[in-house]
Amino acid sequence: MKLVSGAQLIQVISSEAPLGRAMLGKYEGDEVWIQVAPIRQQFEVLRVN
């Protein structure tokens, strides 16, 4: 789900989604890796609210 707050676009990720599960307990600046089919993807936590 995507939300707009003022001029900012916010991506909401469920804690039950693969990326959401991988992000649980992470902090700003942490890196998160998930495997989606044959592809391994890396994400960086930019902000936690």
**Total number of domains in the chain:** 1
In a domain, 21, yes or no: yes
Residues, the chain, total? Answer: 49
In a domain, 43, yes or no: yes
pLDDT at 31: 95
Distance in angstroms between the alpha carbons of the first and the last residue of the chain: 16
pTM score above 0.85: no
Distance CA 47, CA 36 (A): 23
DSSP for residue 5: E
Assess contact for 44 and 29: CB atoms under 8 A: yes
Token output for 37: 């089919």
In a domain, 7, yes or no: no
In a domain, 30, yes or no: yes
In a domain, 5, yes or no: no
In a domain, 39, yes or no: yes
In a domain, 3, yes or no: no
Range of the domain at 24: 16-49
In a domain, 4, yes or no: no
pLDDT at 29: 95
pLDDT tens-place string over residues 1-48: 788 888 888 888 888 998 899 999 999 999 999 998 899 999 999 888
pLDDT at 48: 82
- DSSP-derived 3-state class of residue 34: strand
